[in-house]
Amino acid sequence: MTTSTTGSQLLASAAGLDAADPLAVLRERFVPGDGELIAYLDGNSLGRPLIATREHLFRFVDDVWAPRLIRGWDEGWMDSPLTLGDALGALTLGAAAGQTVVADSTTVMLYKLCRAAVCARPGRRQIVLDTENFPTDRYVLEGIAAETGTQLVWIEPDPLEGVTADEVAAVVGPDTALVVLSHVAFKSGFLADTPAITRIAHAAGALVLWDLCHSAGVVPVELDAWDVDLAVGCTYKYLNGGPGAPAFGYVASRLQGELRQPVQGWMGHAEPFTMGPGYAPATGMRRFISGTPPVVGMLAMRDMLDLIGEAGLDAVRAKSSALTAYVIDLADELLTPFGVEIATPREAARRGGHVMLTHPSFRELIPALWERGVIPDFRPPQGMRVGLSPLSTSFGEVAAGLALVARLLEERGQGRLISVR
């Protein structure tokens, strides 16, 4: 069977899947791409904007910013990191009110919470992390280790399997201050056993911080039920906050009075408008705010949280699992004959919202895909990451995108790389 014939059959099956998708109607809520876009397969890097967001941004300028000006701070802006944090926590994190804040970038929030956690465990001189985690996490912890004189203890997991509970149990002990891992691995999509690993770290007396960048808004999380200490995540992926959207941080209520974050800005002061000579941290999650809240950067996220609430996170997860399973089925049929390997767990319960495919040609192939309107992303050394935002991605997009990947691989095997449009 030729690639073109198989691709036609898969497109037909995709149409049936889209017709049966209970969330398909919600795709109409997103601003469409340009006419050149065939398949957007990078929703786990930057989500599409909502039509409602476009309207709300205009209205914010005309109806709120322009007429209210500085009065807006007394009319909700000052509390927006906390009120939006509570909404985010309730809808996507399994977090009761008063434990989540929206502020800063992911890197800054990671630094603040990790540094506070290490200092809250004096006498413990080790931080546990893994070699497969996102660079920011590793770089931030290298800096904290240098500042505090602590030692980094590296786990080297199987890139496909990710960090396991047994691997954590083998390295934590009485000298462990903090364990930092990702709930969903940014390359393979491996879904860590967060409850088990958290229990293991706690048994050793350590704190745990979970990176939720590839979880929030696509994989249900139960931070309170899992007894998680700390968590950080971004909001521009599945939460569709837009480029540069602020991060979020979670601190369990039982720890908030114990931790003292290191970036002591005036917005985290107990009485910010006294302009006093010394720093006294506010109570609750306000103490983890440093500077002026990114009010404009929060607008798009509010709209996406409303949509997630309408759809239901369990339904979002079900669609995500179906999409990633479809990618794996397509890859098995269309791509493995060309030497493509699937570097993501096949069991739905063990993977997040994206699939990693590997092939030596992907570094050169992905720019050609972009030129033809299919947008995945590349992860070294030879990975093509297929990121699927369930509320904006159709099965038809997935089929069309991977059929083009197969076509280009086939043509490269013949020594040609020609336009297929």
Can you give the CATH number for the domain in which 358 is found? 3.90.1150.10
pLDDT tens track for 80-137? 999 999 999 999 999 999 999 999 999 999 999 999 999 999 999 999 999 999 999 9
Residues 85 and 14 both lie in one domain: no
**Measured between alpha carbons, how far is 345 from 84 in angstroms, rounded to an integer?**
33
pLDDT on residue 24 = 97
Residues 304 and 335 both lie in one domain: no
pLDDT on residue 169 = 98
Catalytic residue among 211, 288, 302, 303: 211
Residue 156 lies in a domain: yes
Largest Cα separation within the chain, whole Å, is 77
For residues 135 and 415, the model is more confident at 135
319 included as an active-site residue: no
Residue 11 has pLDDT above 80, yes or no: no
* Strands (DSSP E) found in 74-120: 100-103
Catalytic residue among 190, 236, 248, 326: 236
Token pair 């958290």 in the structure block, residue: 198
pLDDT on residue 33 = 84
Residue 102 lies in a domain: yes
Residue 355 lies in a domain: yes
**Measured between alpha carbons, how far is 16 from 419 in angstroms, rounded to an integer?**
28
Q: Which of 275, 291, 308 is the last residue of a domain?
A: 308
Residue 145 has pLDDT above 90, yes or no: yes
Torsions phi, psi for 263 (to 5 deg): -100, 90
Residues 174 and 263 both lie in one domain: yes
pLDDT on residue 303 = 97
pLDDT on residue 342 = 97
Residue 6 has pLDDT above 90, yes or no: no
Residues 324 and 303 both lie in one domain: no
Catalytic residue among 42, 286, 385, 395: 385
Catalytic residue among 60, 134, 338, 378: 134
**Measured between alpha carbons, how far is 209 from 284 in angstroms, rounded to an integer?**
18
Residues 132 and 261 both lie in one domain: yes
Residue 82 lies in a domain: yes
Q: Which two tokens stand for residue 328?
A: 């794996």
pLDDT tens track for 13-32? 899 999 999 999 999 999 99
286 included as an active-site residue: no
Give the confidence band of 417 by pLDDT, cuts at 50, 70, 90.
very low
Q: Which of 308, 331, 366 is the last residue of a domain?
A: 308
190 included as an active-site residue: no
CB 282 within 8 A of CB 256: no
Q: Tell which residue, 316, 254, 265, has the closest CA to residue 120.
A: 254
Catalytic residue among 112, 237, 287, 372: 237
Residue 200 has pLDDT above 50, yes or no: yes
Residues 295 and 374 both lie in one domain: no
Residue 269 lies in a domain: yes
Query: Residue 176's beta-bridge partner residues?
Result: 126
Residues 216 and 231 both lie in one domain: yes
Residue 80 lies in a domain: yes
Residue 195: give its domain's CATH number: 3.40.640.10
Residues 98 and 222 both lie in one domain: yes
Residues 326 and 293 both lie in one domain: no
pLDDT on residue 8 = 67
How large a percentage of the chain has pLDDT more than 90? 92
Residue 71 lies in a domain: no
Give the confidence band of 413 by pLDDT, cuts at 50, 70, 90.
confident
Torsions phi, psi for 183 (to 5 deg): -65, -45
Residues 322 and 285 both lie in one domain: no
Q: Which of 287, 308, 329 is the last residue of a domain?
A: 308
Q: Is the peptide bond before 381 cis (omega within 30 degrees of 0)?
A: yes
Residue 2 has pLDDT above 60, yes or no: no
**What are the CA-CA distances from residue 369 to residues 2, 364, 388, 418, 419 (Å)?**
20, 9, 17, 11, 10
Domain region containing 16: 3-49+313-413
211 included as an active-site residue: yes
Q: Which two tokens stand for residue 32?
A: 């469409």
pLDDT on residue 420 = 32
pLDDT on residue 239 = 98
Residues 137 and 270 both lie in one domain: yes
407 included as an active-site residue: no
Give the confidence band of 416 by pLDDT, cuts at 50, 70, 90.
very low
Residue 41 lies in a domain: yes
Give the total number of structural domains in the chain. 2
pLDDT tens track for 165-183? 999 999 999 999 999 999 9
